[in-house]
Structure 1
Amino acid sequence: MTNTITPQRTADQARRRTDTLMQCAFSCEGVAAEAVSVLDAPRVGHMRRIVVAHLRHLGLDALVANMQQIVSELVTNAIAHAGGPVTVTLLVTGTEVRLEVRDSGAGRPLLRSASSGEENGRGLLLVDSLTTELGGRWGFDHDRRTVWVGIPIPISTP
């Protein structure tokens, strides 16, 4: 049996697969509360490509577009607001894809609505919208300094 889950696999087949874990970490060059530096900006794309490659390797292409956006928003927030080390973790179980972005900042991420004139401030609103649309959930673990998103794996039942 392969370890690949596709949206067409049955629930029984999905329960029999083993969990997979992917984790990447990097240190930011910029300073928290400033614009993302030119040295840190490429890291967002790197993390996005790594997560996408892992999802595609597991046959979860149906989640790629939305997870690309979620990874981009969460990693950008971690770089811009925390600075320091950032760790991206992707855990895929038989029923869920869980993305975690951990940083070293002191603040708490806030879901807010930005005015039409503001350039920033919509990231978590977008994460909330995409996560809800996919039937998932998201939150913040203050003790671990981690924003997490859990998205159910789309599985058809026979």
Structure 2
Amino acid sequence: MRDNLGFRGWFYFRQGWSVYFAFIFAAVNTLTVTYFLAIDNYPVLKEIFPSFIHYIVIVVLVGIPLLALIGYAHYKRTASFKAEADIHIEANPHMRRILTNTEFMLSMSLQLSELTMRLMNNEKLTSNEMDRLKHLQKEFQKQIDNRVVKD
């Protein structure tokens, strides 16, 4: 995991840049540009926002709750976040492997629990069920032998 320290550092740099620095820089830039190029030149808007400080306070009081509501809708009320999560799972070989393993284990657990219930009721397994169990063992062994994570 530590073999690619340069790429890990690059990833952390991009996260810090895009999530924190660029966000703050963009917010300050947007507030400054919109006030001094738009509001400052229109007397009607200048009456609503008499100073840059008033503008910042009003925008923050209205903007933060509004953007939080939009963020909530993005995650909880629209299909957009589900689509993003699907793409991350499809594109990430580790997540794809976890998904494959989970689906495989659920199927195997269900079939094994059915066979266990039969055995607990002192019922003999049929040859078909024994074949199913042997097939499960082979599938499980294939899954163990094929523990690669690749694209």
State the TM-score, normalized to the length of structure 1: 0.22
User: Considering only CA atoms, is the larger Rg found in Structure 1 or Structure 2?
Assistant: 2
User: Which has the larger helix fraction?
Assistant: 2
Higher RCO (C-alpha 8 Å, min separation 6): 1
User: Which has the larger strand fraction?
Assistant: 1
State the TM-score, normalized to the length of structure 2: 0.23
